Chain A
Amino acid sequence: MTLFFSQLINGLHVGIIYALIALGYTMVYGIVKLINFAHGDIIMVGAYTAVITLVSLNVPPVVALLLTILVCVIFGVTIERVAYKPLRSSPRISSLITAIGVSMLLQNTALLVFGAASRPFPTIFSIPPLRFAGIQISFVTALTIVVSLVLMLLLQTFIKTSKAGKAMRAASEDYNTAQLMGINVNNTITLTFAIGCALAGIGAFLYVMAYPAVSPTMGSLPGLKAFIAAVLGGIGIIPGAMLGGVVMGIAESLTKAYISTQLSDAVVYGILIVVLLVKPTGLLGKQTREKV
């Protein structure tokens, strides 16, 4: 039972990071209907920023985190403006391919600049693990979960109550009508990318604290999984991304513990397939039918 709970906590730890990253996917998809394949590589950008600022520049962790967020946001917004914005009226698949191109560009540039070898991420907190009823929870795990939950709450409040949040919801509901109602859709989209990338930056920081290895291709796998999490929850739906991420993380960690490490990916994809077959628009998605 103890094993089960500690695996559950582990799953929650990685799942909530997936959820943070998935938010970026889902928010962008909600408005521009683009699967932003480069989003995973923003994690890589964030991780390198974190490792450079912490190790080479020797700044305090909080400053490193802020710089990481800043760099991620700058990257995200630049990518959006340069690569995606000109394609907004093109077929959606063109932007998808562009996103793949951007992803490759980021990875290969990192490969050129930093080399293929992975860099270790320093330990920031040497605080002993917390104990609850015999279950050990590392400080990083607890921190990750708390920080992520707070961020998600903040995001929900922002989207539900602020003017910009309302604009985002309107734009994702109907892009053209939002424009006609006087919403600056371009700025709204930029803001969406900025928020998504800021979350990815924080996610990156939390991710490398858990898996302390930074390499040019490190973003692909958590990126892909976060994206699947977003689909699992119902893409375009913010609480869906959170739910999807947590479900994915827990499923992955339980499979690794009880079934097989090699098969954990298969189980994750299997869950995705089953969910989509039973509920074709994801866990929290609404079934919409084209009006005849």
Chain B
Amino acid sequence: MIRPAPRTAAAGAAASGTSQAPATGSALRIEGVHKAFGANRVLKGVDLAVDTHQVICLIGASGSGKSTLLRCVDLLETIDAGRVVFFGHDVTNPAVDEILVRRQMGMVFQSFNLFPHLRVLRNITLAPVKALGMTVADAGEEAMALLSRFGLADKARDYPDRLSGGQQQRVAIVRALAMHPKLMLLDEVTSALDPELVGEVLDVIRELAAGGMTMLIATHEMGFARETATRVVFLEDGVIVEEGPPSQVLDAPQDERTKRFLGRVLSAGRM
């Protein structure tokens, strides 16, 4: 559905060399991405590669650029320099219809952002019906199957404000899944939740990871990152400072800045 980029992205070697099984292909390559809002330079040359079925956790302090990076990948922001390659297509090329790209990426926000005027079922079926042209019946059937899978079937006819934060966020994830995304982008999806509701949302993400979903996750949940992530990427001040397997980045960080950040997280009792 995406128009092929004019240049074939053969220069993929630029992506940081992580050892990966040859069976998995490249899902996403972020190459030298810069993004500034006015004088505020948020991303200062980010390179990151995500292969299919990988779960990459972005960690870093608020303001380090995690959310902006995810928004740039979802093409909600226009990048200033660099490019984003999605399954072999340069999606930051102006010739690309970003709407077609977004239909293949699922984005979940910190604040859920369910549509308050629509019932849960309609929240989920809106995009499949209006964007993919599915029939209401087919989309509804599929949505009900997804809701059942995540224990939300009895909420289908409720309005979002009747749901707890955890339920709302699970519905938001289901809403993104209903578009059959090839890549999920999760932006601190548990940060706005009461502590006792975090678990149910993380369980959903764990299940997606176990099912092989490719995910790029900005998170403050270090325990979750440790057990679920293929790689952990530490972002500070708009650049990737350190990345590697969770055991390496979280337990034996090399860079001073990573050590300092993890030290602060540890002293806050969040690890």
Do A and B originate from a single complex? no
Interface positions of A (Cβ within 8 A of B): none
